[in-house]
Amino acid sequence: MPHPISALGSGHTLISIVPVIAGLYSFARHFRIDSATHAGKTYLVGLVLSVLTSFGLSSTGGFNAGHALGILALLAISGALLLPRIPVLTRAQPYLSQFGLTFSFFLLLVPGINETLTRLPAAHPLADGPQSPVVRGALAAWLIVFVIGSVLQAWWMRSQRRRAPLA
């Protein structure tokens, strides 16, 4: 039998869809999450709200891996936003900053993949928990997408930098 979902769980799920859509749009439109764009700002606000609402949820009755991933995602976006203000590693800053934002998107979907596969379809979920081969396989595939996407993103950013006229 599928796990029942609380009102907070439903609200959290709806809120969590916002940064997923904004992030996917940003990647499709700008090849990155750009905090200066409307989609980038929507992503950041949605991610913060998603993480905050997750703290009221726990299938184990306390702090769990999903909460830890949420905190890590908040740290990643904080670092990504603060990095350009730090006068070290100036050539690497855009890459590191973007990696932090992309990493936060990766982390956002890790618990989402697990929850989706253990709840849907409602009558007979595809997986019975995080240790399920279906969940593990989906997370491994997501990790591969993240690594390849991060490499392609860095390559794209470097090619854009080379094309930019010198001021």
For helices 133-163 and 93-119, give the axis angle rounded to 10 degrees: 160
> Is pLDDT at 1 greater than 50 in this prediction?
no
Which tens digit of pLDDT belongs to each residue from 9-58? 889 999 999 999 999 999 999 999 999 999 999 999 999 999 999 988 86
Q: How far apart are CA 105 and CA 35, in angstroms?
A: 13
> Is pLDDT at 145 greater than 90 in this prediction?
yes
Which tens digit of pLDDT belongs to each residue from 108-129? 999 999 989 998 888 888 998 8
Q: What is the pTM of this model?
A: 0.89
